[in-house]
Amino acid sequence: MLGLQGIALVTGAARGIGRATAVAFARAGVAGIHLTDVRSTLLEDTAKDAISAAMNPNFRVFTSVVDATKEDQVVQMVNDTVKTFGRVDYAANIAGVLDISSVTADVTMAEYDRVNNINARGVFMCMREELRAMRKQDPVVHIPGRPAIRGAITNLGSLAGQLAAPGMNSYTASKHAVVGMTKAAALNHALDAIRVNVVCPGFVDTEMLGDVWDVDQSEGVREVIPMKRMGRPEEIADHVLFSVSQLSSYMTGHSWIVDGGYGIA
């Protein structure tokens, strides 16, 4: 239904939303996926899950340990995707970190730089290299009746890229940056037949959130979400896949807020 028969690249694929996105791509019928993360063992587990879920009989997957803050590694990541599969049709830039630490006056520049190097600079470098590769490839029709497209990119933002929350200074800045760079890239490359969008989740029940919050904090958040629960990684992955698919062929530069109604409560 989604018409995803091409090649996908997923960063931050070792766990959480990245893993769910990788498995969803495989289940949707893509021909191949390049999975990347800094956690090699967990990355291989994701690859196994993707193989088990794959619907395309010719499905292929390969993994690379990539630090998204290192420009040379990001360049190599995209080059390896094209070298292995011939092109990259869909890119999901999921890699990132969560930071909940201190009020603005107490933020150190080391803390600020660490978060923004991964969440903002890292996403920008990934997106830039993906755009460079996509501009060189021929447009393809994935669904009859829809226009041919060279590629589609979805960045992972956050509700923190739309709002602000106490103690989330560096993280909020980084996710606002992701929203802004997504809009700029979408505008700059619309005539290249490349679409760029951003998915902005609210609170999602992932290992990353569990790393920084205890049970009481998680329960407190659930109470203020209208749906009275956190999102699931698979629910965010659904929006990532829709936004790169040709079912959203007239959408670019858009921010998808997926938060269980938290932002309107």
Dihedrals φ, ψ of 53, to 5°? -90, -15
Q: How far apart are CA 241 and CA 22, in angstroms?
A: 10
Asked if 183 is an active-site residue, the reply is no
Q: How far apart are CA 118 and CA 111, in angstroms?
A: 11
Catalytic residue selected from 70, 83, 112, 175: 175
Q: How far apart are CA 14 and CA 16, in angstroms?
A: 7
**Whose CA is closest to 168, among 228, 103, 215?**
103
| Dihedral of the alpha carbons of 11, 15, 20, 25, in degrees to the nearest 10 | 40
Asked if 171 is an active-site residue, the reply is yes
Catalytic residue selected from 48, 70, 83, 171: 171
Q: How far apart are CA 4 and CA 25, in angstroms?
A: 8
Cβ(89)–Cβ(6) below 8 Å: yes
* HEC secondary structure over 145-174: CCCCECEEEEEECCHHHCCCCCCEHHHHHH
Distance, first Cα to last Cα, the chain:
33
Catalytic residue set: 171, 175
